A = this chain, B = another copy of it.
């Protein structure tokens, strides 16, 4: 007979879930590489690779113990399996931020910010929510907030950092004309956008499913399956709502809005997929998809330039998803959820603002107008993404 069967199975299950999340690294990379212009694709890819390497290593060397108190925090499975699962989350926070400032951001200052997120900002938020909680006395305690896999801890954290970065950096060169017109910048590679979105979708099964923390009892196996079921459903309905809302307005099928609608639904369901029945995620995902379609033009009106729609997908839906648990789950207080949303915003936004502002003083974050016109691939990387293809723009 096996000794420690639950230890074995949970170690295996957590490795499986972690592996799915790692598919989100090429997922984000392909999504963003497809959404930006050809002349900025190498930079976007480089940033994505650097984020995974730097954020993960910072978390390994510093952030993890700060977040969870010790390497022995979790003893129901192998400690390194648990670490890897947590480590797979960190880069996502910076991915959300870096995606939203792409086509105009220089790489070195982003790399510096990534170190700070991996070693300090993200671990602070984890500490007061999922982690060791020794900071809970010094800040408002939000350890009671229901946030299974991080609608707030991951997605709105990344979203607040992005908001700070956009305010400091301003829009891409030429995006908002003096006469009030907005320059439409189409995605350069739709197959990559589609591939990236589906790698993210699949990664989400590991993200949310693995966050249940165990599969080694009937109760936990049921929670894992329900979580993945509900995660998927919110994505399906988010996609359909993204489709219908754009179709009725423009009579066209807008695949970037369909996919962003799906991602909005996935973010929104992430706070509580283990606690809903199988129909509630349809409503949560529908609102999630709708919020993306509604907020993308609003941010543009506010001249907050976000080439991939990350504010709408991650910040708005991170907030919506966290509140949704309070609305739909009787045992969860919406006030606690709201407090969690506010506390995280009140920590992450000013902290990120101050750090990005300081970095920007010493290492200018924004590429110059001329560099942006030529494309930042040449100035930052000295390498075009598709050097042999003739371009029409």
Question: Which A residues form the contact surface with B (CB < 8 A)?
Answer: 1-9, 11-13, 15-16, 19-20, 22-23, 25-26, 29-30, 33-34, 37-38, 41-43, 45-46, 48-50, 52-54, 56-57, 60, 77-81, 83-84, 107, 186-192, 194-195, 197-199, 201-202, 205, 209, 215-218, 220-222, 224-226, 228-229, 232-233, 235-237, 239-240, 243, 250, 252-256, 258-259, 262, 278, 380-393
A13-B12, A262-B53 are known contacts. Are A218 and B3 too (CB-CB below 8 A)?
A: yes
A8-B217, A54-B240 are known contacts. Are A37 and B255 too (CB-CB below 8 A)?
A: no
A382 to B253, CA, bound (A): 8
Q: Which residue of B lies closest to A1 (CB)?
A: B5
A228-B15, A391-B390 are known contacts. Are A221 and B189 too (CB-CB below 8 A)?
A: no
Measured between beta carbons, the chain B residues less than 8 angstroms from A79 are 225
Checking B1, B3, B49, B383 against A194 with a beta-carbon cut-off of 8 angstroms, the contacting residue is: B49
Q: How far is the CB of A234 from chain B (nearest CB, A)?
A: 11
Measured between beta carbons, the chain B residues less than 8 angstroms from A252 are 380-383
Can you list 16 contacts pairing A with B, beta carbon distance less than 8 Å? A8-B9, A8-B220, A30-B194, A45-B190, A48-B194, A53-B236, A57-B236, A78-B224, A79-B225, A80-B278, A107-B253, A188-B386, A252-B383, A254-B381, A388-B391, A388-B392
A1 to B4, CA, bound (A): 8
Q: How far is the CB of A357 from chain B (nearest CB, A)?
A: 23
A125 to B391, CA, bound (A): 49
A390 to B390, CA, bound (A): 6
Q: Is B3 a contact partner of A217 (Cβ separation < 8 A)?
A: yes
A38 to B226, CA, bound (A): 40
Q: How far is the CB of A290 from chain B (nearest CB, A)?
A: 15
Measured between beta carbons, the chain B residues less than 8 angstroms from A222 are 11, 78, 80
A229 to B233, CA, bound (A): 32
Q: Is B236 a contact partner of A37 (Cβ separation < 8 A)?
A: no
Checking B195, B240, B256, B258 against A29 with a beta-carbon cut-off of 8 angstroms, the contacting residue is: B195
Q: Is B232 a contact partner of A56 (Cβ separation < 8 A)?
A: yes
Checking B2, B8, B60, B240 against A53 with a beta-carbon cut-off of 8 angstroms, the contacting residue is: B240
Measured between beta carbons, the chain B residues less than 8 angstroms from A42 are 190, 255
Measured between beta carbons, the chain B residues less than 8 angstroms from A190 are 41-42, 45, 383-386
A11-B225, A259-B49 are known contacts. Are A19 and B218 too (CB-CB below 8 A)?
A: no
Q: How far is the CB of A219 from chain B (nearest CB, A)?
A: 10
Q: Is A390 a contact partner of B389 (Cβ separation < 8 A)?
A: yes
Q: Is B201 a contact partner of A22 (Cβ separation < 8 A)?
A: yes
Q: Which residue of B lies closest to A87 (CB)?
A: B232
A253 to B377, CA, bound (A): 9
A45 to B33, CA, bound (A): 17
Q: How far is the CB of A1 from chain B (nearest CB, A)?
A: 7
